[in-house]
Structure 1
């Protein structure tokens, strides 16, 4: 098996609460981001944007999450707000993944631009795996929250895809059971019906 296939077969998400220091340094992240900008990008729009969040900036992100929840749900309990504010503290490094969407592009619809940012995130995950780090891509309600999006300089048309939680795994990862890929693959003909 080719080494790149072997590496892809090893990739799996690492539970955020098991990620500890050391996290990748800025120098280590340089080639990681170089892989991100090699994602397929119809029209060379380069919609992807990344924000590196470490140290006390994680606490600030937690405050933004909690403020967003309070705006969405004024009756949120202090426990709910505290739990959401603590989420960015689960790992030593977070990368926010965003798509700055060009609307009314003559050839590239917004969905393709968001997909490009998603593929860039996958390249980041694969590069981190190759460097020996653990990571998980998490989204949830904060990614859709207008207050959180504004904190990252995004407009309504833009997409906050999610947050990559990154660090060194503190425990051995167990291989996850994967489906047989053949169950999801078929040859297409005009008579083939689409699965419900």
Structure 2
């Protein structure tokens, strides 16, 4: 798939199944994620790859424990079960502001870099024939996931990239009326 087709047709998909990307394909995704614009080469991101049966079970348990410990209720528990079963591969993307350099860049710039890394993961997965969806919501603030991902006080989980083989294709275009988003001078 050429780059422009990839960029103009990528869509999120919550209908994912096995197989997941292979170790080599995951390596390609992570390499793509580290090639994003990064003012000052700060590398303000970290990835948590959840792929083994044990890892995926631990992830599911952490989602359910989050709901229980924070008293989110039955509806949230159902959502936790759904999210936990959504994909055969989960890659947590964490923003880790880098202050350990002589001239650190503003944190907002660093967070944009981490966001670009997350998007590059998605594009690299799509380029290899896998669908994906970026999940955030209540899960990215879970103290249990933050602990499991090794977050410090300043770190922020910015997304859970759910990746797998599509079970149905969503080819519907979106945002095609550019006038509402564009000013021309």
Q: Same fold (TM over 0.5)?
A: yes
Describe the superposition over 1:134-153 as per-residue Cα deviations: whole angstroms up to 9, x where unpaired.
Answer: 01111011101233211110
Which residue in 2 is equivalent to 1:13?
A: 12
Which residue in 2 is equivalent to 1:99?
A: 95
In the alignment, structure 2 segments of 5+ residues that lack a partner are none
**Greater RCO, CA 8 A, separation 6+:** 2
Structure 2 residue corresponding to 1:155, chosen from 149, 152, 155: 152
Residue 87, structure 1, aligned to residue 83, structure 2: yes
CA radius of gyration, larger in: 1
Tell me the TM-score normalized by structure 1.
0.83
Instruction: Return the offset for 1:102.
Output: 2.4
Describe the superposition over 1:100-143 as per-residue Cα deviations: whole angstroms up to 9, x where unpaired.
Answer: 11249744122211111110111111111111110111101110
Q: Distance in 2 between matches of 1:91 and 1:47?
A: 26
SS for the counterpart of 1:90 is: coil
Q: Distance in 2 between matches of 1:166 and 1:32?
A: 11
Aligned residues: 183
| Superposition map of 1:1-196 within 5 A | 3-15=2-14, 18-54=15-51, 55-73=53-71, 76-77=72-73, 80-81=76-77, 83-103=79-99, 106-187=103-184
SS for the counterpart of 2:43 is: coil
Tell me the TM-score normalized by structure 2.
0.88
Q: Decide whether the 8 Å contact of 2:118 with 2:159 is kept in 1.
A: no
Q: RMSD of the TM alignment (CA)?
A: 2.2
Q: Decide whether the 8 Å contact of 1:59 with 1:89 is kept in 2.
A: no
Describe the superposition over 1:27-72 as per-residue Cα deviations: whole angstroms up to 9, x where unpaired.
Answer: 1111221111110111111011111112231221122122223332
In the alignment, structure 1 segments of 5+ residues that lack a partner are 189-196
